[in-house]
Structure 1
Amino acid sequence: MKKTVLFLSAVLLSASALAQHSDQEVKEDIQRHRGMAAAHEGAAKCLEAGKGEKVCMAELQAACKGLALGKYCGMRHAH
C-alpha cells in the first residue's frame, strides 16, 4: 500500500512538473530522453562486443555530453 501511494505521488508530481513546461521544453526533454536512450543502447552494444567496461563508459560519457547530469548519463547501476 505504501509503495502504491509513493508511486502515485511520484506520477502526480511528474505530471504537475510537465504541466509547468512549455510545449517547446517538453519537445526538448523528449529529444534528450531519446538521446540518452540511444547512448545507453550504444553502451550495451559496446559491452556485448566485448570492448570492456572502461572503453564503453568512455563512449557512453562522450555520447551523453550535454544530455544528462553525472558520468552515468542520468542512470546508475547497483554495481
Structure 2
Amino acid sequence: MIRKLLLALLLAPCVALAADKHDDKEIKKDIERHRQMSAAHEAAAKCLESGSKPEACQKALVGSCKGLGIGKYCGMKHEH
C-alpha cells in the first residue's frame, strides 16, 4: 500500500506535465490571453498614476479581466 502511494506521488508530476501539452492553437490562445491581461494591468497602473482612487482602478481591472485571469486579481496578486 505504501509503495503504491509513494509511486503515485513520484509519478504525479510526470502525469501533470504530460497533460499540460498544448497544440499551436491553444498556445496562440494563451499568448493572446496574456497580452490582454498585460494590457489590463497596464491600464490599472496608468489609472493609479493618474491619481484615481485605488478602489476605482481595481474595479476597472476586474471588469477588464473578466474571464481572463483566475480570481478577482486577473491572475496576479501581490501583497497589500
Structure 2 residue runs without a partner (length 5+): 1-13
Match of 1:3 in 2: none
TM-score with structure 1 setting the length: 0.75
CA-based RMSD? 1.9
Q: Tell me which structure has the larger Cα radius of gyration.
A: 2
Shift of residue 46, structure 1, vs aligned partner: 0.2
CA distance in 2, matches of 1:27, 1:39: 19
The reply to whether residue 58 of structure 1 matches residue 59 of structure 2 is yes
CA distance in 2, matches of 1:70, 1:31: 19
Match of 1:75 in 2: 76
Match of 2:46 in 1: 45
CA distance in 1, matches of 2:54, 2:42: 14
Match of 1:30 in 2: 31
Helix, strand or coil for the counterpart of 1:71? Answer: helix
Q: Deviations over 1:5-30 (max 9, x none)?
A: xxxxxxxx9xx57x710100000000
Structure 1 residue runs without a partner (length 5+): 1-12
Residues matched between the structures, number: 65
After TM superposition, what 4+ stretches of structure 1 lie above 4 angstroms from structure 2? Answer: none
TM-score with structure 2 setting the length: 0.74
